[in-house]
């Protein structure tokens, strides 16, 4: 092992962070690095600490939870919380100074896609003379997505295991709506409705676990297929909270345990669930040919 330390700051939501972490593990392995430091930022897109998602990561993995005030400056000032706003500015300022200090050994990773670009990244890191390498990313940047060495939160994993045992054999469906314009455009809702009708026609006692961020779709499908559609969602949950992220992980692992996963186009959530479970995945999308 060489004496370098890989510092990874995964960004974005849960799915994006898992993509970045998978890449960091792959890169560390191929560059013979056994020390990884992760900066886990508890912010609005993923409002939880590291322990809410993971129980163990491979290699010599050290994690620093970064907890900043999530309220906007405008909201705090509107409510006269001047001291709170100043404290948030100090927190963010100190972190910005730290990141400025590591710019000398920061490597751009968000746009890396081709095998050639990945090989160039590996070469740069191996030739880098410093002892620390810093990568901030919200995307997959090295190797195929592989989370087999990751151990998720044990309480969530146990809860998933119990639910799957009670459900029996099932398929799963992830209908991504709300702010994902690409998913809405390329995987229209009617495709999922048609697929459910097809599955139920073929097997009237089919069980389908449905995960979606559109409560209207969930309500409609449960009313249409009360004996076939299953869901653990009991109401809206916020990704700004640890409870919301733990539930997202819970549903992701349920999707991962399905026989066949019918996913949405351009959805990291669908992709990660399939990579964890290594099950058959069918992305329901418009054929553009």
pLDDT of residue 286: 95
pTM given for the model: 0.90
Residue 124: Cβ within 10 Å count:
11
Asked if 14 and 245 touch (Cβ cutoff 8 Å), the reply is yes
3-class secondary structure, 65: strand
In order along the chain (289 residues), what is the average pLDDT of each group of 10 residues?
88 95 96 94 90 93 84 85 89 79 75 92 92 92 95 98 98 96 97 98 98 96 98 86 96 98 97 97 87
Strands 54-56 and 151-152: antiparallel
Question: What pLDDT is recorded for position 66?
Answer: 86
Cα 175 to Cα 263: distance, rounded to the nearest angstrom: 7
* pLDDT, position 102: 63
Q: Which of 15, 37, 13 is nearest to 24 (CA)?
A: 37
CA 6 to CA 120: how far, in whole Å?
Answer: 17
């Amino acid at each position: 092992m060489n004496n370098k330390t890989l510092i990874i700051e995964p960004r974005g939501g849960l799915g994006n962070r898992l993509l970045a972490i998978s890449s960091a593990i792959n890169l560390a392995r191929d560059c013979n690095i056994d020390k990884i430091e992760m900066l886990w930022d508890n912010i609005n897109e993923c409002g939880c600490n590291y322990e809410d998602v993971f129980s163990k990561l491979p290699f010599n993995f050290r994690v620093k939870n970064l907890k900043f005030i999530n309220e906007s400056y405008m909201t705090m000032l509107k409510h006269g919380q001047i001291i709170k706003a100043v404290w948030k500015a100090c927190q963010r300022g100190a972190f910005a100074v730290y990141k400025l200090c590591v710019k000398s050994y920061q490597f751009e990773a968000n746009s890396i896609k081709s095998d050639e670009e990945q090989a160039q990244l590996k070469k740069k890191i191996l030739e880098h003379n410093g002892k620390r390498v810093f990568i901030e990313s919200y995307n997959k940047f090295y190797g195929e997505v592989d989370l087999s060495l990751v151990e998720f939160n044990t309480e969530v994993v146990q809860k998933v295991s119990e639910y799957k045992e009670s459900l029996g054999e099932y398929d799963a469906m992830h209908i991504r709506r709300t702010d994902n314009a690409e998913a809405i455009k390329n995987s229209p809702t009617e495709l999922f409705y048609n697929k459910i009708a097809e599955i139920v026609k073929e097997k009237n006692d089919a069980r389908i676990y449905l995960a979606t961020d559109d409560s209207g779709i969930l309500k409609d499908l449960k009313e249409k297929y009360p004996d076939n559609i299953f869901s653990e969602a009991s109401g809206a949950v916020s990704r700004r909270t640890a409870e919301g992220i733990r539930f997202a992980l819970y549903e992701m692992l349920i999707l991962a345990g399905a026989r066949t996963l019918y996913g949405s186009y351009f959805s990291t959530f669908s992709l990660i669930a399939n990579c964890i479970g290594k099950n058959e995945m069918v992305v329901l999308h418009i054929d553009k040919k």
